[in-house]
Chains A and B, each alone.
Chain A
Amino acid sequence: GESVGLHLPTLSVQEGDNSIINCAYSNSASDYFIWYKQESGKGPQFIIDIRSNMDKRQGQRVTVLLNKTVKHLSLQIAATQPGDSAVYFCAENMSNDMRFGAGTRLTVKP
């Protein structure tokens, strides 16, 4: 079946650098995507969302890019900070279902 997946299970970046976390999806009918951040011992926290009629959306230090041609979603974090260390996962809304990827662990090195 179609599913959401992630290119990289782990990502390590230097504090102050930009981070890019990727997500691939295979269902062209998906029309809404969300990025969540999950810190250790906590529940997932909404970061940013994007609808399929957009290709870019910016938040505070985060940008989500959607490439429908190749069914690719990415989360960019500017000037990564130690507090950004967490598992990030994307979710796609397909008809009546929301599917979540397994996640990418981001580690920020001081």
Chain B
Amino acid sequence: GAGVSQSPSNKVTEKGKDVELRCDPISGHTALYWYRQSLGQGLEFLIYFQGNSAPDKSGLPSDRFSAERTGGSVSTLTIQRTQQEDSAVYLCASSPAGRGKRWTQYFGPGTRLLVL
């Protein structure tokens, strides 16, 4: 079946502009995660959605970052007033179950964001 998809695959923007990144999880997966991966670095957790529960936003680096998940499926990560340090690959992952259970996260291809 279809995997996790993300769009756009690449985004170049100017400092100060807002950007929206989209994630379509695997159908039926209740858990959705956003991560940031800087060049040569590991995955930095940003936010976690599980069903209709309030999201875990503990990883968001600043109030310029926000995310929502509509209808328990598609998610959008928004970065306002982008800064050059926001340049990174933004990865989305989904999982059939939430935290506390043994699960595997399935990742999308990522959105490569470059802030000039």
Chain B facing A: main interface SS? loop
B42 touches A101 (CB 8 A): yes
Count A-B contacts at CB 8 Å: 46
How far does the alpha carbon of A32 sit from the alpha carbon of B102 in the complex, in Å?
7
B102:A45 contact, CB within 8 angstroms: no
Residues of B within 8 A of A45 (CB): 107
A44-B107 CB under 8 A given contacts A89-B42, A102-B42, A103-B42: yes
Which residue of the partner chain A has the closest CB to B10?
A41
Is A98 part of the binding interface, using a Cβ–Cβ cutoff of 8 Å?
yes
> Residues 76-112 of chain B: 1 if any A CB is under 8 Å from the residue's CB, otherwise 0?
0000000000000001010000011011111111100
Report how many residues on chain A are interfacial, defined by Cβ distance under 8 Å. 22
Q: Is the interface of A mostly helix, strand, loop or mixed?
A: strand
- Given known A-B contacts A32-B102, A51-B102, A93-B102, A100 and B43 have beta carbons under 8 A apart: yes
Residues facing A in B38-63 (CB within 8 A) are: 40-43, 45
- Interface assignment of A64: CB less than 8 Å from any CB of chain B: no
Write out the residue numbers on chain B whose beta carbons fall within 8 Å of the beta carbon of A103: 42
Q: With contacts A43-B4, A44-B107 known, what are 10 further pairs, Cβ within 8 A?
A: A31-B102, A42-B110, A43-B91, A44-B91, A44-B93, A46-B104, A93-B103, A100-B35, A102-B41, A102-B42
Binding site for A on B (CB under 8 A): 4, 6, 35, 40-43, 45, 91, 93, 99-100, 102-110
